[in-house]
Structure 1
Protein backbone atom coordinates (compact mmCIF):
# COMPACT_ATOMS: atom_id res chain seq x y z
CA UNK A 1 0.00 0.00 0.00
CA UNK A 2 1.37 3.44 -0.95
CA UNK A 3 0.53 6.97 0.05
CA UNK A 4 0.36 8.60 -3.37
CA UNK A 5 -1.25 11.95 -2.52
CA UNK A 6 -1.65 14.18 0.51
CA UNK A 7 -4.43 16.77 0.35
CA UNK A 8 -2.84 20.21 0.91
CA UNK A 9 -6.08 21.67 2.31
CA UNK A 10 -6.20 18.98 4.99
CA UNK A 11 -2.54 19.50 5.78
CA UNK A 12 -3.21 23.24 6.17
CA UNK A 13 -6.12 22.63 8.56
CA UNK A 14 -4.20 20.13 10.70
CA UNK A 15 -1.07 22.30 10.82
CA UNK A 16 -3.18 25.33 11.76
CA UNK A 17 -4.77 23.49 14.69
CA UNK A 18 -1.42 22.16 15.88
CA UNK A 19 0.21 25.58 15.51
CA UNK A 20 -2.50 27.27 17.56
CA UNK A 21 -2.11 24.66 20.30
CA UNK A 22 1.65 25.21 20.28
CA UNK A 23 1.05 28.96 20.45
CA UNK A 24 -0.83 28.54 23.73
CA UNK A 25 1.89 26.24 25.07
CA UNK A 26 4.46 28.88 24.07
CA UNK A 27 2.54 31.66 25.85
CA UNK A 28 2.16 29.57 29.03
CA UNK A 29 5.91 28.84 28.98
CA UNK A 30 6.70 32.55 28.55
CA UNK A 31 4.35 33.45 31.41
CA UNK A 32 5.96 30.87 33.68
CA UNK A 33 9.44 32.10 32.83
CA UNK A 34 8.40 35.72 33.30
CA UNK A 35 6.97 34.98 36.74
CA UNK A 36 10.02 32.99 37.84
CA UNK A 37 12.45 35.69 36.69
CA UNK A 38 10.24 38.35 38.26
CA UNK A 39 10.26 36.51 41.59
CA UNK A 40 14.06 36.34 41.39
CA UNK A 41 14.21 40.12 40.86
CA UNK A 42 15.82 39.93 37.44
CA UNK A 43 13.47 42.41 35.77
CA UNK A 44 13.81 45.11 38.44
CA UNK A 45 17.59 44.77 38.47
CA UNK A 46 17.74 44.91 34.67
CA UNK A 47 15.46 47.95 34.57
CA UNK A 48 17.50 49.78 37.22
CA UNK A 49 20.84 48.99 35.53
CA UNK A 50 19.63 50.12 32.12
CA UNK A 51 17.98 53.18 33.67
CA UNK A 52 21.24 54.12 35.38
CA UNK A 53 23.16 53.62 32.15
CA UNK A 54 20.74 55.73 30.10
CA UNK A 55 20.55 58.45 32.75
CA UNK A 56 24.33 58.82 32.94
CA UNK A 57 24.74 58.77 29.15
CA UNK A 58 21.97 61.17 28.12
CA UNK A 59 21.07 62.99 31.32
CA UNK A 60 17.36 62.19 30.87
CA UNK A 61 15.60 59.48 32.79
CA UNK A 62 14.35 56.57 30.69
CA UNK A 63 11.31 54.37 31.17
CA UNK A 64 11.23 50.69 31.97
CA UNK A 65 13.00 48.50 29.46
CA UNK A 66 11.29 45.28 30.51
CA UNK A 67 7.60 45.20 31.35
CA UNK A 68 4.92 42.57 31.07
CA UNK A 69 3.52 44.29 27.98
CA UNK A 70 6.80 44.17 26.09
CA UNK A 71 7.49 40.57 27.06
CA UNK A 72 4.04 39.21 26.24
CA UNK A 73 3.67 41.42 23.17
CA UNK A 74 6.96 40.17 21.78
CA UNK A 75 6.11 36.57 22.63
CA UNK A 76 2.70 36.89 20.95
CA UNK A 77 4.32 38.38 17.84
CA UNK A 78 6.84 35.53 17.69
CA UNK A 79 4.04 33.01 18.21
CA UNK A 80 1.88 34.47 15.44
CA UNK A 81 4.79 34.49 13.00
CA UNK A 82 5.46 30.89 14.00
CA UNK A 83 1.85 29.94 13.19
CA UNK A 84 2.08 31.47 9.71
CA UNK A 85 5.49 29.95 8.96
CA UNK A 86 4.57 26.45 10.18
CA UNK A 87 1.30 26.40 8.22
CA UNK A 88 2.99 27.65 5.06
CA UNK A 89 5.86 25.15 5.33
CA UNK A 90 3.52 22.22 5.94
CA UNK A 91 1.30 23.13 3.00
CA UNK A 92 4.25 23.70 0.68
CA UNK A 93 5.64 20.38 1.89
CA UNK A 94 2.39 18.67 0.89
CA UNK A 95 2.58 20.19 -2.60
CA UNK A 96 6.21 19.10 -2.97
CA UNK A 97 5.36 15.61 -1.75
CA UNK A 98 2.57 15.35 -4.32
CA UNK A 99 4.93 16.45 -7.09
CA UNK A 100 7.63 13.96 -6.12
CA UNK A 101 5.22 11.04 -5.82
CA UNK A 102 4.32 11.57 -9.47
CA UNK A 103 7.99 11.01 -10.31
CA UNK A 104 9.17 8.31 -7.91
CA UNK A 105 6.07 6.83 -6.31
CA UNK A 106 4.65 7.21 -2.85
CA UNK A 107 5.70 6.15 0.60
CA UNK A 108 5.13 2.46 1.09
CA UNK A 109 3.13 1.56 4.19
CA UNK A 110 2.38 -1.86 5.63
CA UNK A 111 -0.83 -2.17 7.63
CA UNK A 112 -1.78 -5.05 9.88
CA UNK A 113 -4.98 -6.02 11.66
CA UNK A 114 -5.01 -6.15 15.43
CA UNK A 115 -5.30 -9.60 16.92
Structure 2
Protein backbone atom coordinates (compact mmCIF):
# COMPACT_ATOMS: atom_id res chain seq x y z
CA UNK A 1 0.00 0.00 0.00
CA UNK A 2 1.32 3.31 -1.05
CA UNK A 3 0.73 6.23 1.20
CA UNK A 4 0.67 9.80 0.11
CA UNK A 5 3.48 11.87 1.44
CA UNK A 6 2.48 14.07 4.32
CA UNK A 7 2.14 17.71 3.43
CA UNK A 8 4.82 19.81 4.91
CA UNK A 9 3.68 22.70 7.04
CA UNK A 10 5.12 26.04 5.98
CA UNK A 11 7.70 27.40 8.31
CA UNK A 12 7.12 30.43 10.45
CA UNK A 13 9.18 32.64 8.12
CA UNK A 14 7.25 31.47 5.06
CA UNK A 15 3.92 32.20 6.75
CA UNK A 16 5.12 35.67 7.69
CA UNK A 17 6.23 36.34 4.11
CA UNK A 18 2.87 35.15 2.76
CA UNK A 19 1.00 37.45 5.17
CA UNK A 20 3.18 40.40 4.19
CA UNK A 21 2.57 39.72 0.49
CA UNK A 22 -1.19 39.49 1.06
CA UNK A 23 -1.19 42.72 3.06
CA UNK A 24 0.81 44.49 0.38
CA UNK A 25 -1.60 43.33 -2.30
CA UNK A 26 -4.61 44.46 -0.28
CA UNK A 27 -3.17 47.88 0.65
CA UNK A 28 -3.70 50.71 -1.83
CA UNK A 29 -0.60 51.63 -3.76
CA UNK A 30 0.75 55.10 -3.21
CA UNK A 31 0.83 57.19 -6.39
CA UNK A 32 4.14 58.24 -7.77
CA UNK A 33 5.14 61.88 -7.59
CA UNK A 34 7.51 63.81 -9.77
CA UNK A 35 8.79 67.28 -8.99
CA UNK A 36 9.66 69.18 -12.15
CA UNK A 37 11.04 72.64 -12.63
CA UNK A 38 10.13 74.77 -15.64
CA UNK A 39 13.30 76.74 -16.29
CA UNK A 40 12.94 77.71 -19.95
CA UNK A 41 10.14 78.41 -22.40
CA UNK A 42 10.93 78.42 -26.10
CA UNK A 43 10.01 81.91 -27.40
CA UNK A 44 9.52 80.62 -30.97
CA UNK A 45 6.89 78.11 -29.79
CA UNK A 46 5.19 80.77 -27.69
CA UNK A 47 5.11 83.12 -30.67
CA UNK A 48 3.56 80.51 -33.00
CA UNK A 49 0.97 79.49 -30.42
CA UNK A 50 0.06 83.07 -29.55
CA UNK A 51 -0.23 83.95 -33.23
CA UNK A 52 -2.64 81.09 -33.93
CA UNK A 53 -4.74 81.78 -30.84
CA UNK A 54 -4.93 85.51 -31.58
CA UNK A 55 -6.03 84.78 -35.17
CA UNK A 56 -8.78 82.56 -33.78
CA UNK A 57 -9.80 85.36 -31.40
CA UNK A 58 -9.85 87.84 -34.30
CA UNK A 59 -12.10 85.60 -36.39
CA UNK A 60 -14.45 85.07 -33.46
CA UNK A 61 -14.68 88.81 -32.76
CA UNK A 62 -15.42 89.72 -36.40
CA UNK A 63 -18.09 87.04 -36.69
CA UNK A 64 -19.64 88.11 -33.37
CA UNK A 65 -19.84 91.77 -34.41
CA UNK A 66 -21.31 90.79 -37.78
CA UNK A 67 -23.95 88.65 -36.08
CA UNK A 68 -24.87 91.38 -33.59
CA UNK A 69 -25.20 93.99 -36.33
CA UNK A 70 -27.29 91.62 -38.45
CA UNK A 71 -29.64 90.94 -35.53
CA UNK A 72 -29.94 94.67 -34.81
CA UNK A 73 -30.81 95.32 -38.45
CA UNK A 74 -33.37 92.50 -38.51
CA UNK A 75 -34.97 93.87 -35.34
CA UNK A 76 -35.40 97.28 -37.02
CA UNK A 77 -33.33 99.02 -34.38
CA UNK A 78 -31.82 101.41 -36.93
CA UNK A 79 -35.15 102.71 -38.21
CA UNK A 80 -36.33 103.06 -34.63
CA UNK A 81 -33.26 105.18 -33.78
CA UNK A 82 -33.83 107.29 -36.92
CA UNK A 83 -37.45 107.86 -35.92
CA UNK A 84 -36.44 108.83 -32.37
CA UNK A 85 -33.90 111.36 -33.67
CA UNK A 86 -36.50 112.84 -36.04
CA UNK A 87 -38.99 113.19 -33.16
CA UNK A 88 -36.45 114.81 -30.82
CA UNK A 89 -34.71 117.15 -33.25
CA UNK A 90 -37.60 117.90 -35.60
CA UNK A 91 -37.27 120.13 -38.67
CA UNK A 92 -35.77 119.36 -42.05
CA UNK A 93 -32.34 118.31 -40.70
CA UNK A 94 -33.91 115.38 -38.89
CA UNK A 95 -35.41 113.95 -42.10
CA UNK A 96 -31.98 113.59 -43.68
CA UNK A 97 -30.46 111.87 -40.63
CA UNK A 98 -29.65 108.17 -41.01
CA UNK A 99 -27.81 106.35 -38.22
CA UNK A 100 -26.46 103.80 -40.69
CA UNK A 101 -24.33 106.52 -42.25
CA UNK A 102 -22.36 106.49 -39.02
CA UNK A 103 -22.86 102.94 -37.70
CA UNK A 104 -23.44 100.94 -40.86
CA UNK A 105 -22.57 97.26 -40.99
CA UNK A 106 -19.73 97.72 -43.48
CA UNK A 107 -18.15 100.49 -41.44
CA UNK A 108 -18.38 98.64 -38.12
CA UNK A 109 -17.13 95.32 -39.50
CA UNK A 110 -14.27 97.14 -41.25
CA UNK A 111 -13.30 98.83 -37.99
CA UNK A 112 -13.53 95.47 -36.20
CA UNK A 113 -11.19 93.92 -38.76
CA UNK A 114 -8.64 96.70 -38.22
CA UNK A 115 -8.84 96.24 -34.45
CA UNK A 116 -8.53 92.46 -34.87
CA UNK A 117 -5.40 92.83 -37.04
CA UNK A 118 -3.79 95.15 -34.49
CA UNK A 119 -4.82 92.73 -31.76
CA UNK A 120 -3.11 89.83 -33.56
CA UNK A 121 0.13 91.79 -33.76
CA UNK A 122 0.02 93.01 -30.17
CA UNK A 123 -0.93 89.68 -28.60
CA UNK A 124 1.80 87.88 -30.52
CA UNK A 125 4.43 90.45 -29.55
CA UNK A 126 3.37 90.57 -25.89
CA UNK A 127 3.35 86.78 -25.54
CA UNK A 128 6.80 86.50 -27.12
CA UNK A 129 8.15 89.26 -24.91
CA UNK A 130 6.62 87.47 -21.92
CA UNK A 131 8.49 84.29 -22.86
CA UNK A 132 11.80 86.18 -23.02
CA UNK A 133 11.10 87.85 -19.66
CA UNK A 134 10.16 84.52 -18.09
CA UNK A 135 13.41 82.95 -19.32
CA UNK A 136 15.43 85.80 -17.83
CA UNK A 137 13.66 85.66 -14.47
CA UNK A 138 13.80 81.85 -14.38
CA UNK A 139 17.56 81.93 -14.90
CA UNK A 140 17.85 84.18 -11.85
CA UNK A 141 15.21 82.61 -9.61
CA UNK A 142 15.12 78.98 -10.75
CA UNK A 143 11.79 78.83 -12.55
CA UNK A 144 8.44 77.42 -11.52
CA UNK A 145 8.38 74.11 -9.68
CA UNK A 146 5.52 71.75 -10.47
CA UNK A 147 4.65 68.52 -8.66
CA UNK A 148 2.96 65.89 -10.81
CA UNK A 149 1.16 63.04 -9.07
CA UNK A 150 -0.17 59.77 -10.45
CA UNK A 151 -3.72 58.82 -9.49
CA UNK A 152 -4.37 55.42 -7.96
What is the TM-score with the length of structure 1 in the denominator? 0.80
Aligned-CA RMSD value: 2.5
The residue number in structure 1 matching 2:115 is 78
Deviation at 1:62, TM superposition (A): 7.4
2:43·2:131 contact (CA, 8 Å) conserved in 1?
yes
Structure in which a larger fraction of residues adopt strand: 2
Unpaired runs of at least 5, structure 2? 1-35
TM-score (norm 2): 0.63
> Larger relative CO (CA 8 A, sep 6+): 1 or 2?
1
Larger-Rg structure: 2
Contact 2:66 2:105 in 1 (8 A): no
My pick for the range that moved more, 104-113 or 91-100, is 104-113
| 1:66 is aligned to 2:103 | yes
1:39 is aligned to 74
Q: Does 1:11 align with 2:62?
A: no
Paired residues of 2:54 and 2:123 also in contact (CA < 8 A): yes
Q: Is the 8 A contact 2:40 2:135 kept in 1?
A: yes
SS at match of 1:5: coil
Separation in 1, partners of 2:38, 2:114 = 36
Alpha-carbon separation, structure 2, partners of 1:46 and 1:24: 29
Partners of 1:16 and 1:43 in 2: CA distance: 36
Structure with a larger share of its residues in helix? 1
CA offset at residue 65 of structure 1?
A: 1.9
**Aligned residues between the structures:** 110
